[in-house]
Structure formats: structure tokens, C-alpha cells
A and B are shown apart, each in its own frame.
Chain A
Amino acid sequence: MPEKKKILEVKHLKQYFKNGRNVTKAVDDVSFDIYEGETFGLVGESGSGKTTTGRSILQLYKPTSGEVIFEGKNVENLKSRADKLAFTRDAQMIFQDPYASLNPRMTVEDIIAEGLDIHHLVKNKEERSKRVEELLETVGLNESHASRFPHEFSGGQRQRIGIARALAVEPKFIVADEPISALDVSIQAQVVNLMIELQKKRGLTYLFIAHDLSMVKFISDRIGVMHYGKLLEVGPADDVYDRPLHDYTKSLISAVPIPDPEIERSRTRTPYDAQKEEMDGKERSMHEIRPGHFVRCSDDEVKHYEQVAASYED
């Protein structure tokens, strides 16, 4: 298999927020890579830091420390306005709340065309309308929607408008921050299918942030599991889901409800105690236990995890 190119490298990213005397370590030393054309799923519960990670990568928050390297260039060192604009063209975001991410006073056309206007991608009004029309069709809406306002649309439709807005600038990399959490189940499938189709057609790379493990597993090639600002486990989606190594990952998977009464009746939950790892003061970093499958542990715990991995093979 040819060596895949890395489109994004996150190295020791830290995002601390000061609130008076308290410091909230939203993202605490997170490192991972994303390869071109893949979907990297970042899972975690509230307070895990996954949303902050996504926003820090796009420089919406200025990282406290660490490096974000996009296509070989360190994003924070971009000085010139042209370079910074080029980065926002290449790396875009889809937001979680379809009700809050669209300006209620703007028409759909203006919302979608905002990126076109900022980056001067169209020459005149006709071209602008035409591009917006194309984008609307791409996401399954039609041109009559361009003159309407966000509040006239359903959640799923608004989310598709948000996707059209992100696509307008022809990005290479999209951070999707919980794009389906606020949608109904049947609409979630619509949006996910749309995203997969767009990825195939346009060769996009996704960072898919979510808390719904089953949906993340479905759409992702690789998964990272976060908890309280730390990245605990990274690996191929099937591996992390079917053969989880870290106790937290196990407890997360055991808590996800499955629409199958027989399975639900026979399940037991695996609780997780975060204190154990926090309190023992050991130095921890990512260790590769199986090819491509990493877990955050101390040097002396490697053996334990290798045993866990082995136990799946019987």
C-alpha cells in the first residue's frame, strides 16, 4: 500500500483557558495525524475537549502551546494575510447547532455566498447566484430556497445549508463538529450519506467530531477517543470499536444503547473510574500496541495492554 500523505499533524496541542485563578485544561497534550482522504473520528463525552481541539486546529482559538501542521506548513506561523486566507479556504468547519450556526437575518444565498465574497471567488452577481444554485443542488436542496431565511427550514435542511457554505470555498479539509447530534435519527442518515458522497466526489478529508459512537464508527476510517482533555486511544475504527484497549473506551462502548432488545437485555455495563489514572502520577504517552492502534499509557502498562489485545484473538 502506497505511503499515505499526511494532511494534518497535531503535535502536543494544549488549550488552557484561564478563568480568574482557575485554569481549565480543555485540551491537554493531544497528538495525532490525519491522512489525506480519510475520515478521522474524534469521540468523547462532554468536557472531553473534542470540540475545543477542532476549533484550535482551525485557529478559532489560539492554542496555548503545541503545533498544528497543515500540508507541511505550521499554521500558527502564517503571518501574511494571504497565507491566512489560503488556510481558511483549505480548512473549513461544519457546526453542530443548525439553529445557531446560520445568521437568522441573512438569506440562504447570502449565507452560502459569504465565503465566495470574502475570497473573491466570483466576478459578478450572476456568477455568484449560479454558484449558490450549484451548491444548493449538491446538498439536495433547490434554487428556490436561495431567497428564503433559515427559520423556514428544518434542522436537517439547515445543516445541509451549513455544508453548502463550507463547500463554497472548495476546501480540502473539513472539521465537522457534531454535525448530526441535533438532528432526528432519519435525518442524521441523510446528512451522513451526503457527507460520504461529497467525500468520494471531491476527495475531502474529514475530522468528524461526535459523541455518538455507532455513527462515528460507521463513517470513520480511524477513531480517536478523548476524555477530560486527553487522547486515550487511537486506531482503525473497527479495531477501536471491536477490540478496545483502554478501559474508558470499553466503558463508553458498553454504554451505547443498541436498537436490539435481545442484546440490550443481556448487556452489562463496564463502569470506568477516571481517578485511577489521574492520581498515580505516572508519565503517560501514546504507545503502539498493535499496528496503527495506539493507547495512552505508561511504559510499564504496555504489557498489560498487549495482553488485552491478545485476548481478542481467541
Chain B
Amino acid sequence: MPEERVLDVKNLKIDFHTYAGEVKAIRNVSFHLNKGETLAIVGESGSGKSVTTRSIIGLLARNAKIEGGEIDFHGKNLLDLPEKEMQKIRGNEISMIFQDPMTSLDPTMKIGQQIAEPLIKHKGVSKKEAWAKALDMIKAVGIPHAEERINQYPHQFSGGMRQRIVIAIALICEPEILLADEPTTALDVTVQAEILDLMKDLQKRVKTSIIFITHDLGVVAGMADRVAVMYAGEFLEFGGVDEIFYDPQHPYTWGLINSMPTLESDTLESIPGTPPNLLDPPKGDPFAPRNKYAMKIDVEKKPPFFKVSDTHYAATWLLAPGAPKVKPPVEIQRRWKKYDLMKQENKLPGVK
């Protein structure tokens, strides 16, 4: 059953022009987003995950150069659209929320106005109607005493509350796609849990598809339907959330999962070294220098995506026919066993 696709990113290549040279921030990234799902892009700083989402909504820095690829949204290539067209889409069909709730809101505008604005601008609704809808939205995001607070200013709200307001602004026009760039990283863990629950709840109501960027694997496990692991400007592995967490194939994914302390572990395996310099990216697998399972071919040739299942692909030479079977870290082996068990008991939720 073919799922309806809302977004199709093909062979995206983006460079940044700096005085030190061209930084190849995005090096051939392709993915799609299905209707109603949450796609998580996981990566560490410098991996390019923020740049990817900003290119979708057209908010790249001035020194960014699109070197190739297209972003297909309802038959249009977003990369080709002029600014005026993009402004009609932003806040309306595609919305974005950012990490820092302290600076995302205009401190001189009442929050009611900030929430109503997109509605007035994009849907041509009257001010009265827009404010009424804004009030509904404020209640929907769980802010108490909505009737009074709609007239208050951002500084009168805490960080978690402000992030709820940001979500309200983003969702009031019921966009098809919501881009969330580390929306809970700056929040306390209890507040984060509330915001994530809120997002899941609203997603069901508004039927929006979410691209969720984060470096926190725990958050991914709780939010995502599908996961893409990003490193040095490219995807190394992508698949359904259960596939990635219980059947990971790329050594970088192993490393990420392994660096998180679990209830059982008493040692923590870290990934040595640091990500590569994107001014002069390596020609093979970018993770090879830090990969203890690296093979000669890893520094020579970039691995293509090998199929693990219809929905799960990994770009590692370890999956090539003829490659040696390596023994992954203990924690990964445990997860593989669990995956086999889950498959047998047919406990895996369907993935599109």
C-alpha cells in the first residue's frame, strides 16, 4: 500500500562559502516524508541536520549555495521558488519551530497577536475570528487561564510555556509539514516530556507530518516513526524506529546507541576522535577514521545504501556481499536478539 508522500528530497547538495574555502555541509541527501508520520533526523553537531530543514523552508544563511538536488512539495521544487512564493508557504503549509524559546518570540507583541498573525496573513481571516481561534489554540497547547494570558507578553511566561506558544503559532494554520529543530533541547526534562506529549497529541489532531531534529536518542525513541542517522553531511542509515533501535547496521549507529548509559551497563563505550572537516570531506565512508570495524575499502570508496528491509537501508560496506561478519558491541548484540524475538512474536508495528 503506497503511503501518501508529502515531501520528497532528492540528491540535495549544499555548500557554504567561507573565507577558508567551501564547506560541503550537505553531500547528497535524499529522503521522503509520508503523511501523518514523524521522521527523526538524528546527528551530532556539524552533521548538517539543521541545514537540511532550513533548506526545506528556505531559511538558509546568505553564504549558502545550493549545488544540486530538488525538494519536491506538491509538484513544486521548493529550491526554485522565489521568496514571495516561499513566504506564502511558511507558517501556512510548512511551519518551523526552533530550539531557543527565549528568543523565538517577539518580546513586544502580545502572544495572542503572535498566534493570530499567521491566520490573518495566510487565510485572510478577520482579526476577531483569528483571535478567537488563537484562544482555542492556547487552550489546546495546555496553557491555563487562557482568556487572561492571551493578552500577556512573552516575558511573563516560563521557557516551557513559551515553547507551547511557539507550537501554537506553528500549528494554527494546520500546516502539512512541521519542522522541529531541537525544540526541547533547551528545556528541563520534565517540561520536555510534557512538550513531546503535546506534540504527539496535536499531530494526531491536526494530521501534520513532522520532521524532528535532535541529538537525543531517547527523544527519538519516543517520538519517531522513522529515523535517519546523519553524519558529516550525509545519511548513513535510515529505517523504521524499531529497525534502527533494535537492528542497527552501521557502526556509527552502534556507537551512538552504545554511548548512552543503560540500566544494565557498567561501562560506556565512546566513539574516539571528532567528526571530519567538511572543507575537505573524506572520499570514502566519512565515519571510517573513527570506526574500529573499518576496512580498507571504507577509505577508498563511499558505500552505497545496502537494503536491510523494504524500509531499512544502511550505507556501510559491512553489508556488502562477501564482507566479513563482525561482532558488534555487546549492547547491540543484545538488541539484535531482542529484534529477532520481536519479529517472531510479530510485535513490530508496521512501518511505511
Contact = CB atoms under 8 A, between A and B. Distances in A.
A–B contact with Cβ pairs below 8 Å: the answer is: yes
Interface of A: 45-46, 154-157, 184-190, 192-193, 211-215, 217-218, 251-252, 254-264, 267, 269, 271-272
A188 B219 contact: no
23 contacts: A45-B189, A46-B188, A184-B45, A185-B216, A185-B256, A185-B259, A186-B255, A187-B270, A189-B258, A189-B259, A189-B270, A255-B189, A255-B192, A256-B189, A257-B192, A258-B218, A261-B245, A261-B246, A262-B242, A262-B342, A264-B221, A267-B222, A269-B194
Contacts of B44: 184-187
Contact of B259 (A46, A186, A252): A186
Given A189-B270, A190-B270, A215 B261 contact: yes
A256 B218 CA distance: 8
A225 to B, nearest CB: 12
Interface string B313-341: 00000000000000000000000000000
Contact of A272 (B190, B262, B272): B190
B241 to A, nearest CB: 5
B269 interface: yes
B286 to A, nearest CB: 14
A193 B188 CA distance: 25
B197 interface: yes
Interface in B238-271: 241-242, 245-246, 255-262, 265-266, 268-271
Interface of B: 44-45, 159, 188-194, 196-197, 215-222, 241-242, 245-246, 255-262, 265-266, 268-272, 274, 342, 347
Nearest to B187: A46
B190 A251 contact: yes
Contact of A264 (B191, B222, B265, B272): B222
B189 A192 contact: no
Given A185-B217, A269-B197, A156 B257 contact: no
B268 A261 contact: no
A51 to B, nearest CB: 14
A261 B269 contact: no
A213 B193 CA distance: 14
Contacts of A211: 188-189
Given A218-B266, A264-B218, 11 more contacts: A45-B189, A186-B256, A186-B271, A187-B44, A192-B270, A217-B261, A218-B261, A256-B189, A257-B192, A257-B193, A259-B260
Given A156-B274, A185-B256, A255-B190, A261 B261 contact: no
B271 A189 contact: yes
Given A215-B261, A217-B261, A259-B217, A45 B188 contact: yes
Contact of B193 (A184, A185, A215, A269): A269
Contact of B268 (A157, A192, A251, A254): A192
A90 B222 CA distance: 43
Tell which of B44, B45, B191, B270 has the most Cβ of chain A within 10 Å: B270
A184 B273 CA distance: 12
B115 to A, nearest CB: 25
Chain A contact residues, majority secondary structure: helix
Contacts of A213: 189
Contacts of A189: 258-259, 268-271
Tell which of B194, B197, B221, B246 has the most Cβ of chain A within 10 Å: B221
Nearest to B186: A46
Contacts of A256: 189, 218
Contacts of B265: 218
A259 B241 CA distance: 10
Contacts of B270: 186-187, 189-190, 192-193
Given A45-B189, A184-B44, A193-B268, A157 B221 contact: no
Nearest to B245: A261
Nearest to B42: A185
Contacts of B215: 184-185
Tell which of A155, A187, A254, A261 has the most Cβ of chain B within 10 Å: A261
B221 A257 contact: yes
A10 to B, nearest CB: 24
A107 B27 CA distance: 34
Contact of A259 (B245, B255, B266, B271): B245
Nearest to B190: A255
A214 B216 CA distance: 12
Nearest to A157: B274
A254 to B, nearest CB: 8
Tell which of B188, B255, B266 has the most Cβ of chain A within 10 Å: B188
Contacts of A214: 260-262
Contact of B260 (A156, A185, A263): A185
A257 B222 contact: yes
A218 B268 contact: yes
Contacts of A257: 192-193, 196, 216, 218-219, 221-222
Nearest to B275: A154
Contacts of A46: 159, 188
A212 B271 CA distance: 19
A298 B267 CA distance: 39
A256 B192 CA distance: 9
A111 to B, nearest CB: 19
Q: Give 6 closest A-B pairs by Cβ, nearest first.
A: A257-B218, A189-B270, A218-B261, A259-B217, A184-B44, A255-B193
A259 B189 contact: no
A259 B246 CA distance: 10
Contacts of A271: 190
Contacts of A251: 190
B190 A45 contact: yes
Contacts of B45: 155, 184
A100 B10 CA distance: 39
A252 B219 CA distance: 15
A258 to B, nearest CB: 5
B328 to A, nearest CB: 16
B55 to A, nearest CB: 22
Nearest to A238: B263
